[in-house]
Structure 1
Amino acid sequence: MINRVVLVGRLTRDPELRYTPSGVAVTTFTIAVNRTFSNAQGEREADFINVVAWRQLAELCANYLKKGSQAGLDGRLQTRNYENKEGRRVFVTEVVADNVQFLSPAGERRESGGGGGSGAGYGFDQMDDPFANDSKTVDISDDDLPF
């Protein structure tokens, strides 16, 4: 069986960080993902998808993402249900994130001291971008190209 979800979108609100009674970090946020087609009026629509991140990834998301941040993530789709205060059964579908890439430039992300979100698939700073060339010409011979 395969259960994988890959999304790129923008956060609709600041991430909400909480801790379980046993001290495990959990962060929830909603990501807006544009649809690839337009509606009858020619307008683009979006889906609003609930995301959950756990442990270190939860803390990184809470520290470096904010409303409007662009993020890419992959994870798995999960459904659960519970009984609310009125006694009604509530069904929830959400993405449990395994990996989150911070796609907004570092200056647009929430700053919380201590460096940056690089490594381990948690995001990167533009300073670490191996493809940045500072507008210099790249000298590549045709023999080096694989096609």
Structure 2
Amino acid sequence: MHVINFDLPSNAHGGIDEYTHRIGRTGRIGNMGLASSFYNTRNEDIAEALVKLLLETRQNIPDFLEAYLPEGFTMDGQTGDLDTLEFDDDSDEEEGGENADGDANAGVAWGADGAAGGWGATETTEAAPAVGGWGAVAGGSGWD
């Protein structure tokens, strides 16, 4: 499969993560794919991350991106330690916040707390038996 990016995503619209998602459509289940992207001066905001991605995936770096090479790396990717590449991950996918640790109280912020009778409250009264609806005890055989 061949994916063509006519317009690279800016950092404001997903940046390098969106680009990676797009080109990921080219090869699935170990199959090779091809991605072609049109780059222009409006794409300079993702240039540094694009070069790092190309280095990490051992792709050749185009001449027009040479200025964005990290220190110690060469255009052919033969020089430089990939383990030293640092990516600026500004996504919020793993960003911690209040109740972001996965504890049982994480849902409390969504509505009323348990003491106020909202979701997750401990019910202290018995529910009234259903009359003629779901859960009602039917008289007779049920085939009437």
TM category (shorter chain) comes to under 0.3
Relative contact order higher in (CA < 8 Å, ≥ 6 apart): 1
Q: TM-score, normalised by structure 2?
A: 0.25
Q: TM-score, normalised by structure 1?
A: 0.25
Of Structure 1 and Structure 2, the greater strand share is in 1
